[in-house]
Amino acid sequence: DIQMTQSPSSLSASVGDRVTITCRASQSVTSYMNWYQQKPGQPPKLIIYPVGNLRSGVPSRFSASGSGTDFTLTISSLQPEDCAIYYCQQSFSTPRTFGPGTRIEVK
């Protein structure tokens, strides 16, 4: 199985800050990386799919990059509604695996 790690596990930032989350795969997943946002009491919501495509309706302050084993999700200007847990997920191979999540708190 491909193991996913994320860092940091949590962060707190102010409105307007640029925030970057890192996701690392235990082996190359080329560009097969998705990102999800989950708010309390809700299912995960797809925000970015390969290759760096923003899902329709997702604000353009979200972006993603990376290939191989190292990936990043960036929020260019953090907003209060971005308070959530963010997960990476590889679709290079089965079993599909998710990262443990990064909790973002907005100060």
Partner 1 sequence: QLQLRESGPGLVKPTETLSLTCTVSGQSIGGSSFYWAWIRQSPGKGLEWISDTFFSGTGFYNPSLKNRVSISVDTTKNHFSLNLASVTAADTAVYYCARSSYYETGGFSYYYFDVWGRGTRVLVSS
Task: Give the one residue of 16, 40, 43, 57 binding partner 1; rule: CB under 8 A.
Answer: 43
Question: 56 in helix, strand or coil?
Answer: coil
Q: Tell me how far apart the alpha carbons of residues 26 and 53 are, in angstroms, rounded to a whole number.
A: 23
Cβ-based neighbour number of residue 6 at 10 Å = 20
Among 8, 10, 15, 51, binds partner 1 (CB under 8 A): 51
Residue 43 or 80: the one with the smaller Cβ distance to partner 1 is 43
Q: Which residues bind partner 1 (CB under 8 A)?
A: 1, 31-32, 34, 36, 42-46, 49-51, 53, 55, 87, 89, 91, 94-101
